[in-house]
Structure 1
Amino acid sequence: MPSSPSSPSSPSSPSSPPRDERERLARAALTRVFEPGDERGGRWIREIGPVELMRRLGGTDGSPQSLKGMTAARLAGYRLRASSADPGQDLVDVAAIGGRFVCPGDREWPSQLDDLGDARPIGLWVRGRSDLRLWALRSVALVGARACTPYGAHMAATLAAGLAERGWVVVSGAAFGVDGAAHRGALAAGGATMAVLACGVDVAYPRGHAELIGRIAEQGLVMGELPPSDHPTRTRFILRNRVIAALTRGTVVVEAEYRSGSLVTARNAQRLGRYTMGVPGPATSGLSAGVHELLRGEGVLVTDAAEICELVGEIGELAPVRNGPVLPRDLLDAASARVLEALPWTGVMDGRDVARSAGASTDETLGRLYELHSLGFVEREGDGWRLTSGRTRDGGARRGGT
């Protein structure tokens, strides 16, 4: 291996890199050896350290027994990958596009990723000028169907813009559909957004989102577990979702079928103790069926950014109280409302009959009727009273009225 890190047992010399740099090189190399989320590899890193693990994988004197749970066939596969890893060149390549490699223990490392245990990322390749740890502290994931409906795209963009305006970072996967709409909504609001890729951060995938990914790298952050130039696969997309779930305070699913990667993100979020939310859709829409199933369980229904912030935010970040419109009748006192209710929908009623129906004295009823007359609720016709022409008891316009 061209840039193989040395053993931790070997003494440092003026020509050898410091220990933290050797660990960075080892972790960078291991991102080419192990697939994302490989818990076996994560356990070995935890038990013997990345430098020693690369020494055993890169040497010729190792044996299957040198690593717990390793078979000869698996060892051969790992060694084949390790032999072609060039972490020094990978670090140069990512720096050339304005990127960096962030490792556990770095100041910029988001510690919430440690909740993944041995499945946490070996490290993250990152593009963008912002601080990953600080942005992740106040972030929300917005995910959903690739083949989303116009409703789904509208809701994703609207929610993202609302979150961005409230100072939240929108995290998604840069895919077509809901992901792209979420990123664009945040960018349009001048807010912050992060894209977690299932490939190298120098690879624009999907190709149709090359411009969008470039904008995210300029205004926000693009990151992934895979080293530069690595390509996406189906399993890498699925495994990428655990990072989105762990990185953020909560996950919002906008549209998703029963079999959807977005639901994988939501289930990961639930297992990690994060908030899981869903945006309802038409009951007849197959693209909302998975979301509705989520809402039947532990998912929380949300319809706008304020409701999301109320759930994942700090004390005091409350959504406004939802009320229907205040009708003119709502402003009447109880006695006047009772007199108004006594009048028939059509026709004229004598004042005494109104008093009898309202259960009040004649004098009090007449006083209330004149008050209602001045407010426009009733009108007088001869010796009787009726509802104002074209108006209902609540003070609104009657159907077909003026």
Structure 2
Amino acid sequence: MNTILGLAAEHRDVLAVLRPRVVTDLRELLEPTARIVLGVLAEPGDGVLGRAVSVLGAVGAADLLLAQCSARAFVDTLGEAGETITPKEADDGLKRWTPRIDSAFFTRSIGQAARVGARFLIPGDAEWPAGLHELDRHAPLGLWVRGRIDVLAGGSPSIALVGARAATGYGEHVTGEASAGLSDRGFVVVSGGAYGIDGMAHRTALASDGTTVAFLAGGIDRFYPMGHESLLSRIASSNGAVLSEVPCGTAPTKWRFLERNRLIAAASDATVVLEAGLRSGSINTAGHASALGRPLGAVPGPVTSPASAGCHRLLREYDAVCVVDAAQMAELAIGSASPTLEGLASGWGGVGESPDGVRVLDELSTRTPRELAEIVQRSGVASSRVMSVLGELEADGVVVRREGRWLRRRTA
């Protein structure tokens, strides 16, 4: 890749279209260009990169990585700027980011974003959701938006309604009533665009002439899940918005879904889990909400229903507030914060459920064996760590090696 200045000049016309307002000076494109590049190089929530950006700025950090600096130079540059980073952190980071330097993907990605009418927001824009600043070094580098770009800028209160994909009739009924009631009260309904609880929250908000926002785990050029393409298109073309932190052309993976959850929690004034099993991804969202000091609510269900076991755990063990209707949820959002919920946002099990393990497994196929270099490039995990993870997964019988390539077992 070129320098950030070179990329901004080369793609000036396309990049200008992506910004929320008219660009008259090339210098106005340097910051967004750098953040798009960094979003290509790193996985969401990369704290080491976040620390580099905090002291060097996005342009400085991006130019340093595009120059393919050494780990020693990376450590020294950050040290001179006031941020201490260990040689191992620098070395691991560079091994994650360097294989992703790809000018062709950058060009395709911004071109596709322009074709679908997306806009790119960065911290400092008037439309940027203020709550995302609280993620600190794990804050998104930028947000890709289709629809109303200022929907989370603070004009209306917002509340996240999340829950199981495999929702029961009970869960969908409670969600529909809650979303309609909150929409009538002027709340922006935030969710993840998935099947089940998410979809019902979005659909009911639209039917109530309310405003709803969907955060996706993949690029917003191709809506996912495919069965919700019509729903997500309606959100983007109505008074709402569809957002993602990853560039167009990026596929949704388990790791990106888990990282996406922190955005749902941070962008909302409160989070309510309406129905969730013990291993539901919405429990991860609840952990992020409480770690940020945001109010957390849970809707009780039948004590015999596994679909509500996660909600009952939140109520029993983690002091979530019991809420049963829109009025109580609205009161939760505008009241005081809930008690701290520790462990749920980072309570990983074995290597297959560790952050690196999830990312490596995401990129393994059950049909096509992949070489180590390809897994490193696709996962954004350093090669030494990928080899370690693969070794553990092979010992657990989750993956198998065939002639130097790796395959995920169908029964894993």
Whether TM exceeds 0.5 here: the answer is yes
Q: What TM-score results when the alignment is normalised by the length of structure 1?
A: 0.72
1:143-222 mapped onto 2 (5 Å cutoff): 143-219=162-238, 220-222=240-242
Could you tell me whether the CA contact under 8 Å between 1:171 and 1:244 is conserved in 2?
Answer: yes
SS in 1 for 2:252: coil
State how far apart, in whole Å, the 2-side matches of 1:28 and 1:79 are.
Answer: 15
Provide the rounded CA distance (Å) in 2 between the counterparts of 1:111 and 1:204.
25
8 Å Cα contact 1:109/1:132 also seen in 2: no
Name the residue aligned to 1:80: 99
Aligned with residue 71 of structure 2, among 64, 70, 74: 64
Q: Does 1:127 align with 2:127?
A: no
1:225 maps onto 2:245 in alignment: yes
The amino acid across from 1:162 in the alignment is G
Residue 313 of structure 2 aligns with which residue?
Answer: 293
What SS does structure 1 have at the residue aligned with 2:300? coil
Deviation at 1:312, TM superposition (A): 1.5
CA distance in 1, matches of 2:34, 2:131: 22
Indicate if the aligned counterparts of 2:127 and 2:152 stay in contact, CA closer than 8 A: yes
Tell me, in whole angstroms, the C-alpha distance in 1 between the residues paired with 2:151 and 2:110.
18
Aligned residue number for residue 364 of structure 1: none
| AA in 1 matched with 2:65 | L
> Within the alignment, does 1:26 sit opposite 2:34 as a pair?
yes
Hey, what does 1:363 align to over in structure 2?
A: none
Report what 1:350 is aligned to: none
Displacement of 1:85 = 6.1
Give the 3-state SS of the residue equivalent to 2:5 in structure 1. coil
Deviations 1:190-238 (A, max 9, x none): 1100000000011111111111111111111000111012101001101
CA contact (8 A) 2:297 2:332 kept: no
After TM superposition, give the deviation of residue 94 of structure 1 in Å. 1.9
What amino acid is the match of 2:311?
V
Contact 1:127–1:201 (CA<8 Å) still a contact in 2? yes
Change (3 A) 1:164 1:184: same
Report if the CA contact (8 A) 1:201-1:228 is conserved.
Answer: yes
Structure-1 residue corresponding to 2:332: 311
2:210 counterpart SS class: coil
Pairwise mapping of residues 19-58 of structure 1 onto structure 2 (< 5 A)? 19-58=27-66
Larger Rg: 1
Contact 1:6 1:55 in 2 (8 A): no
Gaps of at least 5 residues in structure 2 are 8-23, 76-85, 337-412
Kept after mapping to 2: 8 A contact 1:173/1:196:
yes
CA distance in 1, matches of 2:155, 2:41: 27
Write the letter of the residue equivalent to 2:178: L
CA apart distance, 1:257: 1.1
Change (3 A) 1:309 1:243: same
Tell me whether 90-99 or 257-266 shows the greater mean CA deviation. 90-99
Q: Which residue identity lines up with residue 122 of structure 1 in the other structure?
A: L
Provide runs of 4+ in structure 1 moved above 6 Å.
none
Counterpart of 1:254 (choices 259, 270, 274) is 274
Q: Which residue of 2 aligns with 1:97?
A: 116
User: 2:18 maps to which residue?
Assistant: none
Choose from 110, 126, 140 the match for 1:107.
126
State the alpha-carbon separation in 2 of the partners of residues 2 and 63 from structure 1: 18
Q: Deviations over 1:262-311 (max 9, x none)?
A: 01111111110101001110011111111011112321111111111122
Q: Is residue 273 from structure 1 mapped to residue 285 from structure 2 by the alignment?
A: no
SS of equivalent to 1:20: helix
Q: CA deviation at 1:88?
A: 5.8
- Paired with 1:89 and 1:111, the residues of 2 have a C-alpha distance of 30
The CA distance in 2 between the partners of 1:289 and 1:85, in whole Å, is 46
- Superposition TM-score, scaled by structure 2 size: 0.70
* Unaligned stretches of 5+ residues in structure 1: 8-15, 316-402
Displacement of 1:132? 3.3
Equivalent in the alignment of 1:353 = none
Percent of matched pairs sharing the same residue: 45
Return closer, same or farther for 1:56/1:234 CA change in 2, 3 Å cut-off. same
Q: Distance in 1 between matches of 2:92 and 2:139?
A: 25
8 Å contact from structure 2 (residues 163, 273) kept in 1: yes
Distance 1:77 1:282 in 2: 45
Contact 2:166 2:195 in 1 (8 A): yes
Give the CA deviation at 1:185.
0.9
SS at match of 1:226: coil
Post-superposition offset of 1:256: 0.8
Return the alpha-carbon distance in structure 2 between the equivalents of residues 111 and 246 of structure 1.
Answer: 9
The alpha-carbon deviation at position 50 of structure 1 amounts to 1.1
Alpha-carbon RMSD across the aligned residues, in angstroms, is 2.3
Q: Kindly indicate whether the alpha-carbon contact (under 8 Å) linking 2:156 and 2:186 is maintained by their aligned counterparts in 1.
A: no
Deviations 1:59-78 (A, max 9, x none): 15x21112234454642441
TM-superposed CA distance for 1:250, in Å, is 0.4
Cα deviation, residue 184, structure 1:
0.6
Q: Which has the higher contact order (CA 8 A, sep 6+)?
A: 2
